């Protein structure tokens, strides 16, 4: 079998990953990708193979799956190994303790608080036309939500917005500089809620105890806050991608305006069609594995191409068509699958629904002022700007 090569540094891949990965998917269920520091990585391009791999314990996430963080102070390092890097009993223990705080019911109960946050951001939009919704809505929203969830005092939240912006911008000096501040802030929040419990995630998790009396340690709670900051930026890019998709598909926008009750289904479709995550983090084979007739040796890195799997015509009807009324026969892989399915997926869905609903409700004449400025990123489909007209009062 001829195995195609996908080079994420090539412009045609960076700026049109849907076509590039789609062509690879139709050529072969398995591709290869050169990545600095990893050599050649195996890429699974089709939905069923990708989904099966993500639930198969023969493929494990480990420390090699993540970019190292040189320059981080030594005292921060105990807090940086999150559940995402764990497997087996170690992962199951923490996931079990954390699960009660991240249910769909709790996310739904949080909706009213998310609405207040979104309305506050929209109330504060500059009275200018056009306006960029990235710095004024999409970028600050996830960190404002995390602060509300975790119980960060109001006085400290402007600083946390800065941390969120540094993390959302990707690996670099600002990212590294933000880490000690996030860790210190998380420690302060844990200590505050230990003595003054509130209606927040840390207070809830401090009370959590399983049937064997197991609890989170302080280090584990601080690490969980870091994980939320790290992974919780997904709605920034999903909101931007979703608004761009709707504004460039007037029939879908009109359908959603006519029936706002379609919003939950629309968010799922937008996640499938324009989700920000292009690839999963690498899994490493624990033994020799055969996938779609291709033998992959032990210790080899393997990634699922979410961008290809979510548009696989073998499981999705007319997959390249955006259809907010779609009732899919299978779920998308936008939040991964298996034991490492995104812990905060329900909260990401709620805040995206709230943000898109508020924008469409408040601005009936909303339109793109220009094509979004894409950020070249081989792993994430994201924009540096979303300039729109129709928000001025």
Q: Return the CATH number at 44.
A: 1.10.630.10
**Tokens encoding 391:** 């928000």
Q: Would residue 140 count as lying in a domain?
A: yes
Cβ count near 127 (within 10 Å)? 8
Q: Would residue 255 count as lying in a domain?
A: yes
Which residues make Cβ contacts (< 8 Å) with residue 124, sequence separation at least 6?
136
DSSP at 120 = H
Residue 367's SS3 state is strand
Q: What is the extent of the structural domain holding 299?
A: 11-389
Mean pLDDT for 98-127 is: 95
Q: pLDDT > 70: what percent of the chain?
A: 98
In the predicted model, is pLDDT for residue 329 greater than 90?
no
Q: Would residue 289 count as lying in a domain?
A: yes
**In this predicted model, what pLDDT tens digit does every residue of 140-189 receive, in sequence order?**
999 999 999 988 888 888 989 888 888 877 778 888 888 999 999 999 99
Q: Would residue 5 count as lying in a domain?
A: no
By the 8 A CB rule, do 356 and 242 touch? Answer: yes
Shortest CA distance to 230 belongs to which of 343, 349, 375? 343
Shortest CA distance to 239 belongs to which of 274, 205, 210, 214? 274
**How far separated are the first and last CA of the chain, in Å rounded?**
60
Shortest CA distance to 242 belongs to which of 371, 112, 159, 355? 355
Total structural domains within the chain: 1
Q: Would residue 236 count as lying in a domain?
A: yes
Across the chain, mean pLDDT equals 93
Q: Would residue 2 count as lying in a domain?
A: no
**In this predicted model, what pLDDT tens digit does every residue of 17-27 receive, in sequence order?**
999 999 999 99
pLDDT band per the 50, 70, 90 thresholds, residue 64: confident
Shortest CA distance to 373 belongs to which of 240, 272, 250? 240
Residue 180's SS3 state is helix
In the predicted model, is pLDDT for residue 211 greater than 80?
no
| pTM (predicted TM-score) | 0.94
pLDDT at 144: 94
By the 8 A CB rule, do 42 and 22 touch? Answer: no
Cβ count near 266 (within 10 Å)? 29
In the predicted model, is pLDDT for residue 391 greater than 90?
yes
Q: Would residue 152 count as lying in a domain?
A: yes
Q: pLDDT > 90: what percent of the chain?
A: 71
Shortest CA distance to 151 belongs to which of 109, 196, 200? 200
Cβ count near 160 (within 10 Å)? 22
Q: Is the dihedral of CA 360, 238, 80, 84 positive or negative?
A: positive
Residue 117's SS3 state is helix
Mean pLDDT for 60-65 is: 87
By the 8 A CB rule, do 297 and 5 touch? Answer: no
Cα–Cα distance for residue pair 210/215, rounded to 1 Å: 7
**Tokens encoding 60:** 């494990």
**In this predicted model, what pLDDT tens digit does every residue of 269-323 receive, in sequence order?**
999 999 999 999 999 999 999 999 999 999 999 999 999 999 999 999 999 999 9
Cα–Cα distance for residue pair 174/167, rounded to 1 Å: 8
My answer on whether omega of the bond before 130 falls inside 30° of 0, hence cis, is yes
**Tokens encoding 310:** 């979510």
**In this predicted model, what pLDDT tens digit does every residue of 333-385 receive, in sequence order?**
999 999 999 999 999 999 999 999 999 999 999 999 999 989 889 999 999 99
Q: Would residue 107 count as lying in a domain?
A: yes
pLDDT at 210: 58
Which residues make Cβ contacts (< 8 Å) with residue 314, sequence separation at least 6?
46, 47, 48
Is 173 or 12 the better-scoring residue by pLDDT? 12
């Amino acid at each position: 079998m001829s195995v195609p090569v996908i080079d994420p540094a090539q412009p045609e891949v960076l700026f049109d990953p849907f076509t590039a990965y789609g062509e690879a998917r139709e050529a072969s269920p398995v591709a290869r990708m050169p990545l600095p520091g990893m050599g050649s990585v195996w890429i699974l391009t089709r939905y069923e193979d990708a989904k099966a791999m993500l639930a198969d314990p023969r493929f494990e996430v480990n420390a090699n799956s993540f970019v190292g963080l040189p320059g981080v102070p030594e005292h921060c390092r105990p807090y940086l190994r999150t559940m995402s890097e764990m497997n087996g009993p170690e992962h199951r223990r923490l996931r079990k303790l954390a699960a009660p705080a991240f249910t769909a019911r709790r996310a739904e109960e949080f909706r009213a608080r998310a609405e207040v946050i979104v309305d506050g951001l929209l109330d504060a939009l500059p009275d200018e036309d056009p306006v960029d919704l990235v710095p004024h809505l999409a970028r600050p929203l996830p960190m404002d939500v995390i602060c509300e969830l975790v119980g960060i005092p109001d006085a400290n939240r402007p600083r946390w917005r800065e941390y969120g912006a540094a993390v959302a911008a990707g690996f670099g000096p600002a990212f590294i500089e933000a880490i000690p501040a996030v860790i210190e802030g998380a420690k302060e929040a844990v200590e505050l809620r230990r003595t003054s419990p509130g209606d927040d995630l840390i207070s809830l998790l401090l009370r959590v105890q399983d049937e064997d009396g197991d609890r989170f340690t302080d280090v584990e709670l601080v690490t969980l806050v870091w994980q939320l900051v790290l992974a919780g930026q997904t709605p920034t890019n999903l909101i931007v991608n979703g608004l761009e998709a709707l504004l460039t598909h007037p029939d879908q926008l009109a359908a959603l305006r006519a029936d706002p009750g379609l919003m939950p289904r629309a968010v799922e479709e937008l996640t499938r069609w324009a989700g920000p995550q292009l690839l999963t983090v690498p899994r490493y084979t624990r033994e020799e594995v055969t996938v779609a007739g291709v033998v992959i040796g032990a210790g080899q890195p393997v990634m699922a191409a979410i961008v290809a799997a979510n548009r696989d015509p073998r499981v999705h009807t007319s997959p390249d068509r955006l259809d907010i009324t779609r009732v899919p026969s299978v779920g998308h892989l936008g939040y991964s699958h298996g034991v490492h399915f995104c812990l905060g997926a329900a909260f990401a869905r709620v805040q995206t629904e709230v943000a898109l609903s508020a924008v469409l409700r408040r601005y009936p004449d909303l339109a793109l002022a220009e094509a979004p400025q894409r950020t070249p990123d081989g792993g994430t489909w994201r924009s540096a700007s979303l300039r729109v007209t129709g928000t001025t009062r």
